[in-house]
């Protein structure tokens, strides 16, 4: 692969990447998935991924770790700050400086917006944003877009409904910033109190056809190609009583499924709480576990691209 723009680069925001860059990662993901284990296992041999997770994670951390192992590298890190010197009061600055000494590439998840940008300024090695506050989760958006491309064949032309907690859900923002490169129609559905933050999508409405709604009505359900469901982010509510008012606002169950087109794909960045009924899981519409699997492949490609100037 030529012109690897990802080599030695921080991935702090998806806004830094063009459509050509995204398509480059998707092609690299297809390539890494097609490699034989021996060949794949040489892409990061003797390289180390360092991760620091100030917030809980299942998929992001494990998929990065699994991805790194699959390309021949190793991982070390902090997945529970209570069992690190963060618990003793060590600063983010010193924690990043220390991890930078032990690793070749770093993944950070932190509750503060701007945390990954700050880490990138400190670290001598590339920093990948594994989720920064309510701001961004760029590698999640890359894998979401890759999933749409794989499952729907083409992102252009899709009618996409993004549902749930649009105020605090960081994956939503990164996804919208990535979708600006495609010709899509977006329907944002949320309770009024969890509407998208207007200041965070300033300028996007000129590039994307966006409609804001509060109901999953029949007209909407019968036309969308992708239903991207998100969790109400309980931990980000300043007042738990406000969470209680909106929890369970939307449940995707067989009643909703029957009102969708037969080929509508249901996605979710996960974790899911109660917003998609378990009996949807075995339907052909449910692609959220495929999305989880694509996460490992896309992150393997991304790690290989950032670590190797010659790419894949
Ligand atoms: N999608 C996602 O970020 O999942 P985790 O919180 O489990 O990492």
Tens digits of residue pLDDT in 260-282: 999 999 999 999 999 999 999 99
- Written as six digits, the tokens of 36 are 């034989």
Contact 71, 300 (CB under 8 A): yes
264 catalytic residue (yes or no)? no
59 catalytic residue (yes or no)? yes
184 and 238 belong to one structural domain: yes
Q: Residue 32: pLDDT above 90?
A: yes
137 catalytic residue (yes or no)? yes
124 and 174 belong to one structural domain: no
CATH no. for residue 36? 3.40.50.1370
- The Cα–Cα gap between 169 and 231 comes to 8
80 and 129 belong to one structural domain: yes
80 and 151 belong to one structural domain: no
| Average pLDDT over every residue of 115-143 | 98
166 and 40 belong to one structural domain: no
Number of domains in the chain: 2
Q: Is residue 4 part of a domain?
A: no
Q: Residue 119: pLDDT above 80?
A: yes
Q: Is the dihedral of CA 228, 200, 155, 223 positive or negative?
A: positive
Residue owning the nearest CA to atom 1 of ligand 1:
269
Q: Quick check: pTM over 0.95?
A: yes
Contact 207, 180 (CB under 8 A): yes
DSSP E strand boundaries for 61-126:
74-78, 105-110
Q: Is residue 205 part of a domain?
A: yes
104 and 184 belong to one structural domain: no
Average of per-residue pLDDT values in the chain: 97
Closest residue by Cα to residue 196 from 164, 221, 225, 158:
164
Closest residue by Cα to residue 289 from 63, 33, 55:
63
Q: Is residue 7 part of a domain?
A: no
105 and 202 belong to one structural domain: no
173 and 64 belong to one structural domain: no
DSSP E strand boundaries for the chain:
48-53, 74-78, 105-110, 127-132, 159-163, 185-189, 209-213, 226-229, 265-267
150 and 285 belong to one structural domain: yes
Q: Residue 19: pLDDT above 70?
A: yes
Q: How far is the CA of 59 from the centre of ligand 1 (A)?
A: 5
| Average pLDDT over every residue of 212-235 | 97
149 and 132 belong to one structural domain: no
- The Cα–Cα gap between 112 and 132 comes to 6
Q: Which residues are near ligand 1 (CB < 6 Å)? A: 57-60, 131, 137, 140, 269-271
Q: Could you give the 3-state DSSP secondary structure of residue 229?
A: strand
Range of the domain at 86: 14-137+294-307
């Amino acid at each position: 692969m030529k012109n690897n723009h990802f080599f030695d680069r921080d991935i702090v925001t998806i806004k830094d990447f063009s459509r050509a860059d995204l398509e480059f990662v998707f092609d690299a993901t297809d390539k890494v998935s097609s490699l034989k284990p021996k060949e794949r296992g040489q892409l990061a041999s003797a390289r180390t991924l360092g991760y620091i997770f100030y917030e809980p994670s299942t998929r992001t951390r494990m998929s990065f770790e699994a991805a790194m192992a699959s390309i021949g590298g190793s991982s070390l890190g902090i997945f529970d700050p209570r069992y690190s010197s963060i618990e003793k009061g060590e600063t983010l600055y010193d924690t990043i400086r220390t991890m930078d000494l032990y690793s070749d590439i770093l993944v950070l998840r932190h509750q503060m917006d701007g945390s990954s940008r700050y880490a990138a300024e400190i670290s001598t090695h590339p920093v990948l944003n594994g989720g920064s506050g309510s701001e961004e989760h760029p590698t999640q958006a890359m894998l979401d877009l890759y999933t749409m491309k794989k499952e729907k064949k083409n992102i252009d032309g899709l009618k996409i409904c993004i549902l749930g907690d649009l105020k605090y859900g960081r994956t939503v923002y990164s996804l919208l910033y990535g979708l600006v490169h495609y010709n899509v129609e977006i329907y944002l559905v949320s309770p009024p109190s969890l509407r998208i933050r207007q200041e965070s999508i300033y300028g996007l409405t000129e590039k994307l056809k966006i409609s804001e709604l509060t109901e999953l009505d029949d007209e909407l359900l019968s036309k969308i190609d992708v239903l991207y469901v998100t969790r109400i982010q309980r931990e980000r509510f300043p007042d738990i009583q406000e969470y209680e008012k909106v929890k369970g606002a939307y449940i995707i169950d067989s009643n909703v499924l029957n009102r969708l087109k037969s080929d509508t794909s249901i996605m979710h960045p996960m974790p899911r709480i109660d917003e998609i009924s378990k009996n949807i899981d075995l339907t052909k519409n449910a692609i959220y576990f495929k999305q989880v699997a694509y996460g490992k492949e896309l992150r393997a490609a991304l790690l290989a691209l950032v670590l190797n100037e010659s790419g894949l």
